[in-house]
Structure 1
Amino acid sequence: MKRPLLFIFTLLSTGLYAQEHFSGINTSRRTGIINAVVNPAELTNLKNDHEVNVLNLSVNVSNNKVKMSDLFDSDTDFEELIFSGSEPVNMSTDVEILGPAYAFKHEKWAFAVTTAAKIKANIIDVSPELGRALTTDPTITDAVDIINTNYNQRVSGTAWGEIGFSVARDIYVTEEHKISGGVTFKLLFPGSYANMSADQFKGRVTIGTDVVNHPENVGDMVLKDGEANLNFAYSGSLANGFNDMSNFTDFFAGGLNGFAADLGFNYRWKDVNSDDNGYKLNAGVSVRNLGKMTFKDDNNVSNNYTLAMQPGDELNLSQFEDVETIEEVEDLLLQSGLVTLDETNRDFKVKLPSVLSVYGDVKVYNQWYVTGFLQQKLNKANNNAQIAVQNVFTVTPRYSTEKFEAYVPFSTNEISGFTTGVGFRVGGFYMGSGSAITALISDSKQVDAYLGFRFGF
């Protein structure tokens, strides 16, 4: 099952390689639509009366096993690196495209219409022993691996599109202080989806040697005494395979089939001595992605199975190495006679990655600022119906003027740990990374890049 288990790695072929999107620029003093993505209440702080977003692209990849130096200095295959050791494997690939958007403000009110396309693909708490058994040549090892997990292991991928309608209003305004609130209502367009999971997985992985009862498995990787609750679900183009990048890009293919909302509040302590609409403190709190979408494609499938092997049973794991679709995996399991179909559904709902965001940007001296940003997920990633997201904390010192901005974000996230990057803005164009510096000077387990252009009038 090498290809299905590692299908999210196909996203790496884009050449853009972390986990907070637009790290640093999303709390820029030059307030724009990208700030409102973090908190819709920021719309009342737009630098210009009208704001047009042309295009913003952010691509993030992080993992807890493979370092950058391993990729360039080692001859070891990637699957051997990612499934090394005994710690469960976690990896996240996250693509966000903020498309054409328009916002404007009038007196105490502000409004926006936005578009977005998103891809999220994850390996979540996968047992390295199971991963090695499914991807490693059996001639490499003859050891017996005992697997005993009390959680849900997942490999999942989701692509969808969004159209957002935002409104914000100043609630309290004085010469020095301002409080605003905002909300974004999102129309969700599910594109494609895939999930494979094994909950409460137990078993022994070894090389087949039973020439009497299972001669067909001799020399192959086999599972014995296996137990698990399995889920296989797919919808849209991801049902056709994982090696074609285009299968991840049918963002709006499923039509309108979901709704979500973002809610936020913003506080600004204005700098009355500033001549460029400056502030001493800009802080906010928001809850984002409250909602779910329903996949209703013609090829929809969500099947739950029970794996309950008896003494003497063997499941040949080597046979899964070259399959390309989840349906092929299911067929092989059913042919083995070792699984029981418990439940099947045609349509299924998937929850968005809900998060709580808290931030504060403080003026230190003249044009120098420091921002603190916290992102806390509100749902567990192990749930089969949940699109995963990471917890992130970032501190960003920045130098910011009306036309130019440079910043260095220092972040820590729950998968890859500490990273630091660099970014800049010239007018409405910006480019950066939340991990470029650590990727260059240390053994970072995360890489990302983003760029975008917007203008106001």
Structure 2
Amino acid sequence: MKPHPISYYFICLVLLCTTGMSAQSYIGATTDHYSGIHGVILNPAYIVNTPYRVDINLASASALGGSDYFAINVGDILKSNGGFDFDEDVDKFPKDDNNFFFNADVLGPSLMFNLNSKSSFGFSTRARGFLNLNNINGQLYENLEDGFDNSQDFNFNLEDFVGKVNAWGEIGFTYARTLIQTDKNIFAGGITLKYLMGAGSAFFNTPMLSGQYDATSNTLSTNGSLSYGLSHPDFSPENIKFNHLTSGFGADLGISYQWNEQNADGINPESYIPYKLKLGVSITDIGSINYKNGEVTQYDMNNIVDADIFDEDDFQQVLEDYYSGETTSRNIKIKLPTAFHLMADYHIKNNFYASINGDFSLISSKKHKVSHIINNFTLTPRFTTKWFSVYSPFSLREYGNFAWGFGFRAGPLMVGSGSALSNLISNNSKSTDIYVGLKVPLYL
């Protein structure tokens, strides 16, 4: 069977993640007070009062993917010597409303530097991709992917079924400044203005689609409608290319507060002021990209078809050949995955810290023209010095996922994963992520 282009794209990316490829980026690293330019991803206010004079990112990449439909035993993959079969060797948990997610974030040449003792500037380049598939019937998905089982009838109802793939680039300009400073307290604010370059988007949704598979006649009957859209006719979720880019604008906003460990009056104004407690609040990814040559096809799904056609053609071709549809050209606005972030970082003693942060989507999963992150709550203890940090984040992720990871920063290199340890010890990992980065730090 030729798979649905979006589900095929997702499976390929998940396999890359689980074999060695953060939604959330650089989990554990962005809350470190040595995060530098990577701190703007979480909160633009974090580049003020840092231990850096200049921090230059050469290249960094982060990816996170998972689902509540399947679970993977990483140990089985490592023991398989390349013989791991995704269809046969994973545990599957089909239900009426399964969900899939994937987020990739590549931070290109970027830097931050201090303008003076109270303000900092940052410049960043990023390429990002999101996939969300929500409220899909797991049994239907399995049959579409693996072929229909001729021995078993089943019924399904898809309510608020939504899928979307979005890819874009960013050029960001960040300014952060100390707003209020007393002996023991520092309030700061920051803003990142982003020029967006949309590579494209594909999306589909249905408010209600019901159906039945008849094993005796090997037919699939469906009732309802399905809307399928592309940001431009040539966009392919299987082969995303960053050409023919469409412009847009976005912004991140953040504030921070820190309670100092010593009076600021006793410290050189050009020096970093250590804190006992630091708090942050931010909203990221405000904005949208407008595509002028989009296409949306509304399909009437009231039909009975031979199930074997799903083994012969991909799902998009099946729609075109067996269901009546009306295509309209229109302008399509794709919004960014707006999210709300809370963070607290506490200096325990000496070089030991612990941070707590929560990431919450401000976008409903029912929206089909906008991607969204998964809600996430993370506790990260760490040991950190100027040239070295090691941290181990513990996360609770949406769809019932627990993740335990490990990461480190050693001079210019940072490597980590928010789920590496839980993936190794768990028999049914439902999400995985990894990141790596190379930078040039110049300390105060």
Q: Give your verdict on TM over 0.5.
A: yes
- Residue in structure 2 matched with residue 396 of structure 1 by the alignment: 380
- Residue in structure 1 matched with residue 259 of structure 2 by the alignment: 269
Match of 2:120 among 94, 105, 110: 110
Structure 2 residue ranges without an equivalent (≥5): none
Counterpart Cα distance in 2 of 1:32 and 1:367 = 18
Contact 1:57 1:97 in 2 (8 A): yes
Moved more, 392-401 or 121-130: 121-130
Contact 1:133 1:205 in 2 (8 A): no
Give the alignment of 1:149-160 within 5 angstroms. 149=158, 151-160=159-168
Give the alignment of 1:232-311 within 5 angstroms. 232-235=228-231, 239-240=235-236, 242=238, 247-248=239-240, 250-251=241-242, 253-272=243-262, 277-296=273-292, 300-309=294-303
Match of 1:414 among 378, 398, 405: 398
Structure 1 residue 80, shift from structure 2 partner: 9.3
Confirm or deny that 1:439 pairs with 2:433.
no
- Residue in structure 2 matched with residue 121 of structure 1 by the alignment: 131
Give the alignment of 1:343-358 within 5 angstroms. 344-358=328-342
- Residue in structure 1 matched with residue 347 of structure 2 by the alignment: 363
Q: Sort the Cα spacing of 1:178 and 1:18 in 2 relative to 1 into closer, same or farther, 3 A.
A: closer
Structure 1 residue 240, shift from structure 2 partner: 4.5
Task: Write the letter of the residue equivalent to 1:417.
Answer: N
Contact 1:62 1:416 in 2 (8 A): no
Counterpart Cα distance in 1 of 2:208 and 2:413 = 49
Counterpart Cα distance in 2 of 1:318 and 1:193 = 29
Q: Secondary structure at the match of 1:330?
A: helix
**Sequence identity percentage:** 26
- Residue in structure 2 matched with residue 223 of structure 1 by the alignment: 220
Q: Sort the Cα spacing of 1:405 and 1:76 in 2 relative to 1 into closer, same or farther, 3 A.
A: closer
Q: Secondary structure at the match of 1:384?
A: coil
Match of 2:87 among 78, 81, 87: 78
Contact 2:14 2:66 in 1 (8 A): no
Q: Secondary structure at the match of 2:39?
A: helix
Q: Sort the Cα spacing of 1:240 and 1:357 in 2 relative to 1 into closer, same or farther, 3 A.
A: closer
- Residue in structure 2 matched with residue 170 of structure 1 by the alignment: 178
Give the alignment of 1:135-154 within 5 angstroms. 135-138=145-148, 140-149=149-158, 151-154=159-162
Structure 1 residue 308, shift from structure 2 partner: 3.2
User: Structure 1, residues 135-161: CA drift from partner, whole Å, max 9, x if none?
Assistant: 2333x3422211123x22233222110
Q: Secondary structure at the match of 2:94?
A: coil
Task: Write the letter of the residue equivalent to 1:301.
Answer: E
Counterpart Cα distance in 1 of 2:53 and 2:354 = 26
Match of 1:332 among 308, 321, 324: 321
Contact 1:430 1:453 in 2 (8 A): yes
Structure in which a larger fraction of residues adopt strand: 2
Match of 1:377 among 361, 368, 373: 361
Counterpart Cα distance in 1 of 2:91 and 2:138 = 8
User: Structure 1, residues 348-394: CA drift from partner, whole Å, max 9, x if none?
Assistant: 11111110000010011111111000001001122111112100000
Task: Write the letter of the residue equivalent to 1:185.
Answer: L
Counterpart Cα distance in 1 of 2:292 and 2:22 = 31
Q: CA RMSD in A?
A: 2.6
Counterpart Cα distance in 2 of 1:322 and 1:49 = 60
Moved more, 268-277 or 56-65: 268-277
Contact 1:142 1:206 in 2 (8 A): no
Q: Secondary structure at the match of 1:26?
A: coil
Match of 2:207 among 181, 199, 209: 199
Structure 1 residue 18, shift from structure 2 partner: 5.9
TM-score (norm. length: structure 2): 0.88
Q: Secondary structure at the match of 1:321?
A: helix
Structure 1 residue 17, shift from structure 2 partner: 4.1
Q: Sort the Cα spacing of 1:436 and 1:82 in 2 relative to 1 into closer, same or farther, 3 A.
A: same
Structure 1 residue 95, shift from structure 2 partner: 0.9
Contact 1:52 1:456 in 2 (8 A): yes
- Residue in structure 1 matched with residue 57 of structure 2 by the alignment: 53
Moved more, 98-107 or 388-397: 98-107
Contact 2:49 2:272 in 1 (8 A): no
Confirm or deny that 1:95 pairs with 2:104.
yes
Runs of 4+ in structure 1 off by over 6 angstroms are 73-76, 273-276
TM-score (norm. length: structure 1): 0.86
